[in-house]
Amino acid sequence: MAAGRRGEIDHIRALYVQTPATLAGNLIGMVLMASSFGSLAEPLRLLSWLGIGAVLWLLRLGHYLRFLHQRGADEATLRAWRSSWKRLVLAQGALWGVAVWLFWGLGTPYHRVALVLVVYSYCLGSVQLLATQSRVFLAFVSLVLVPSILRIASDSSQDWHWQLAVILTLLFGITVLMARTYGNALGQAITLKARTEELAGRLRTEMVVTEDARRASEDARRTAEAANRAKTQFFAAASHDLRQPLHAMGLFAEALRQRSHDPEVASLVNSINESVDALEGLFGELLDITRIDSGGVDVNPAPVRLRELFARLRLHFEPVAFEKGLMLSFRGEQHVAQADPVLLERVLRNLVSNAIRYTDDGGVLVSCRPRQGGLLLQVWDTGIGIPDASLPRIWEEFYQTQGHRPLQAHHRKGLGLGLAIVKRLAALMGAPVGVRSRPGRGTVFSIEVPLGKAPRASIEPVPRAAAKAALGLTLQDRLLLVVEDEAAVREGLVVLLQAWGAQVVAFDSVAAVEAWAAGPDAQAPDLQLVDYRLPQGRTGIDALVALRARWPGLHLPAIVITGSSLTGHEDEAVQHDYHLLIKPVLPNKLRAMIAFKLNVR
């Protein structure tokens, strides 16, 4: 019972911790509404809406300041505050729903797209804030979207009003599904954390060393380990299930961009892709920290050629850096380190991802140089920097720095777990990490690893031009084979690949692939894109084996796409010669990987 109460209090405190970001988002939204409709709406109508919004905003600010001054408030007080907090949140949801009724139909199609985008952004943003409060979340989203859908559906002046209303209805369902999955995962994590702390407290207070006491301690240890394993499995399952609709959403959004050159549509697609990327990052961070804490990470040191490691990092991040106008550089790739290849790459991926996220101008440099008999790996950026007061705390869980200026939306992605993961993985490898930073000038993260000896054989490095070539990818006259049992994902892949000029054949099972390959008109594909988990207990590996047996004299390149982010596919990838992508796959990453596999220049 104590663990349950502690979990509930943690839930309440988490709501207030996220309040500043929510207040900032609502303020930005009201400013956008004022600037967009200031010259179009009736002054009394607009000022009334903004006035009510300002009052609600100030009330929520006062709520938050009261919490800051009374952090040690008792349980009864916190529960009372939560009740009034819920009423304010629902009132703001109703305010955004009313905005569509008041301002829809004013101005150009651009203003309508902007209005829908702003309103739906608050529904997506509420997933992280309200996911653990399922009833409040459902009420909030209903107050926002139901009036919006009804208003758009009733607008007979536009030929496409019914289509847009249907799309919003589908997004309503997807948003509710995302919130339910995320809320279950986060609630389970908080409950298990409280249970583990309670068990640890019992162990610390156990003073009498008797056989019964040792047996009880052993039972408690096994219970805690089982709880950690269950937490890891739960996060893995939740992550896999949620990646499917996110993956399909990203594919359809990019296909929409390919079919329309309207800048407003492009802006909407960019927003969707940013939301998909942010949610995927949230689940990835939660799963990583859970696996580390539960002892599910093994350390297996081996020689690591930095040329090959840097090539994989370049392939992954160069399209992202290019889109932000940043230069991504690598130095010292001739060295060989002695470290766990998977853990070292994970550490560098987190550091490079952070560097790109917090850099808006300039570039990111990944370097390696000898130091005191070992190697010093560093990630430099020219970003916003970290204040001196925040440097000691950046390695803590759920901590995000607050600089001298407010963070932009793309800076606030994630849960603040990236550097905590880096610190723990580095500790597992016995590799010291450090950081230096100058606010406004940039940051450098460092990790020291032992010097290794080059293995006899190595994989050819990824051509530097591959990632850049992918951005202008054309697949004219190329035949691509897709195997995916999820209809929405399969359709999204087909539409996107065809938009890039490819000919596509798509199947939903291994049996369907085998039947097609056995036919007289079957043609060897240039590339195979297969899902790992397929019906009838079969996998994408079975599809690869069947196709390569049909055309034994050809090298058929393959990409395997999976919704499971747990490791375990690396040995299969080497054995069956394929590259692995984890859902949801953003289109720029898919383009880069296809360009590499097809050697597109």
pLDDT in tens, 10-54: 667 666 777 787 788 788 888 888 888 888 888 888 899 999 989
Are the C-beta atoms of 305 and 454 separated by less than 8 Å? Answer: yes
Q: Which residues contact 293 (CB under 8 A, 6 or more apart)?
A: 228
Q: Which of 194-208, 329-343, 516-530 has the lowest mean pLDDT?
A: 194-208
With bands split at pLDDT 50, 70 and 90, how would you rate the model's confidence at 463?
very low
Q: Which of 365-374, 412-421, 434-443 has the lowest mean pLDDT?
A: 412-421
With bands split at pLDDT 50, 70 and 90, how would you rate the model's confidence at 296?
low
Q: How far apart are CA 164 and CA 148, in angstroms?
A: 10
Mean pLDDT over 455-471 rounds to: 44
pLDDT digit string, tens, across residues 526-566 = 999 998 888 888 989 999 999 999 998 888 899 988 866 54
**What top-level class would CATH report for the domain 302-450?**
alpha beta
SS3 283: helix
Query: Cis omega (within 30 of 0) on the bond before 432?
Result: no
Q: Which residue has the higher pLDDT, 470 or 35?
A: 35
The residue among 351, 420, 415 whose CA lies nearest residue 381 is 351
Could you tell me the residue ranges of all domains in the chain? Answer: 1-154, 302-450, 465-598
Are the C-beta atoms of 313 and 330 separated by less than 8 Å? Answer: yes
- Strands in 217-362 per DSSP E: 302-305, 327-331, 336-339
Angle, helix 2-17 to helix 75-103, in steps of 10 degrees: 40
Q: How far apart are CA 378 and CA 598, in angstroms?
A: 32
Q: What predicted TM-score, i.e. pTM, was given to this entire model?
A: 0.43
Topology match between the domains 302-450 and 465-598: no
Which residues are 559's β-sheet partners? Answer: 529, 579
Answer yes or no: is pLDDT of 406 > 80.
no
Specify the pLDDT at position 87. Answer: 87
Q: How far apart are CA 431 and CA 453, in angstroms?
A: 18
Specify the pLDDT at position 411. Answer: 45
CATH topology of domain 465-598: Rossmann fold (3.40.50)
pLDDT digit string, tens, across residues 50-109 = 999 899 899 988 888 888 888 777 778 878 887 888 888 888 888 888 888 888 888 887
Amino acid at 223: T
Mean pLDDT over 344-361 rounds to: 89
The residue among 352, 277, 280 whose CA lies nearest residue 309 is 352
Mean pLDDT over 117-139 rounds to: 75
With the C-alpha atoms ordered 2, 4, 6, 12, is the resulting torsion angle positive or negative?
negative
Answer yes or no: is pLDDT of 469 > 60.
no
Token pair 């990490």 in the structure block, residue? 433
Are the C-beta atoms of 247 and 489 separated by less than 8 Å? Answer: yes
End-to-end CA distance of the chain: 62
